[in-house]
């Protein structure tokens, strides 16, 4: 049986708050790239905690990557119901990407410290894809611009990292330089995030009742 852990909005907020000082100190991000949909809410919360007096907000760019797509059902009894555990997909689909044709937009990435934000690092397939593809595109932009200054540095923030064998790999230098931060490392449980809830009161109630009380 799959163990479900319910996480509340309050908890997501606190995980971002708790991680912010370390992100500021270690990564000093100039830009965030949120991996949608799960990375959007954490990125927005984090932005407020990363805001420094006298400096503007850190911009958030969005990319959409999807791994756990539910195939359209052919059988009525197997149709998707809210809260149903989805089956992991095997391939990453881009649903949204940076505008590579806009040199201005790409110029904003070249030579910057960029924080990639997602809610969960499960098999790591999505993060591997995101880092590889972003590095590739930034390198193309760097060449186009003839930029030879500071290298672009990607770091990662996730709310939860699942302690399991990973299918995806992150660059060695990223791990060596500790440019990866998970607010929590958890067992291989199914995490129910509040934005997926059909009934948020019921969701919060489930979180309250579980032994971890939404504190994973
Ligand atoms: O580590 P992995 O095994 O790659 O899984 C993690 C990814 O899976 C989920 O995305 P999903 O495809 O469900 O899309 P969503 O964020 O829009 O729900 C989640 O938001 C991560 O991006």
Q: Give tens-digit pLDDT for 72-105.
A: 554 444 444 454 555 555 689 899 998 877 767 7
Digit-coded pLDDT (tens) for 158-191: 999 999 999 999 999 999 899 999 999 999 999 9
Q: Is 128 in the pocket of ligand 1 (CB under 6 A)?
A: no
Separation CA 10–CA 204 (nearest Å): 10
Say how far apart CA 54 and CA 165 lie, in whole Å.
43
CATH entry 3.40.50.300 includes domain 4-65+90-209: no
The per-residue pLDDT for range 146-158, each reduced to its tens digit, is 999 999 999 999 9
Average pLDDT estimate for 110-122: 97
Q: Which of 68, 83, 95, 194 to mutate to test the pocket of ligand 1 (most atoms within 8 A of CB)?
A: 68
pLDDT score, position 77 = 44
Q: Is 23 left (phi over 0), alpha (psi -120 to 50) or beta?
A: alpha
Q: Is the ipTM here above 0.90?
A: yes
Q: Is 199 a catalytic residue?
A: no
Q: Is the CB of 190 under 6 A from ligand 1?
A: no
- Of 118, 122, 173, 201, the catalytic one is 122
CB contact set of 198 (below 8 Å; sequence gap of 6+): 82, 83
Enumerate the domain spans of the chain: 4-65+90-209
Whether ligand 1 lies within 6 angstroms of the CB of 42 is answered as no
């Amino acid at each position: 049986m799959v163990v479900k852990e319910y996480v509340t909005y309050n908890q997501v907020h606190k995980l971002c708050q708790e991680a912010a000082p370390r992100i500021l100190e270690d990564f000093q991000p100039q830009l965030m790239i949120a991996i949608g949909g799960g990375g959007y809410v954490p990125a927005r919360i984090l932005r407020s905690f990363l805001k420094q007096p006298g400096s503007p907000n850190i911009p958030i760019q969005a990319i959409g990557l999807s791994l756990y797509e539910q195939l359209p059902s052919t059988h009525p009894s197997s149709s998707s119901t809210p809260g149903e555990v989805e089956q992991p997909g095997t391939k990453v689909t881009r649903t949204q990407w940076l505008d590579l044709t806009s040199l201005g937009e790409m110029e904003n990435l070249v030579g910057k410290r960029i924080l990639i934000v997602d809610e969960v690092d499960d098999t790591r397939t999505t993060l591997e894809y995101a880092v590889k593809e972003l590095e590739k595109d930034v390198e193309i932009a760097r060449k186009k611009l003839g930029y030879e200054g500071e290298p672009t540095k990607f770091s990662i923030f996730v709310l939860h990292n699942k302690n399991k064998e990973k299918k995806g790999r992150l660059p060695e230098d990223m791990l060596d330089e500790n440019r990866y931060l998970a607010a929590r490392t958890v067992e291989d449980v199914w995490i129910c995030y509040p934005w997926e809830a059909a009934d948020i009161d019921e969701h919060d109630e489930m979180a309250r009742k579980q032994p971890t009380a939404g504190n994973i």
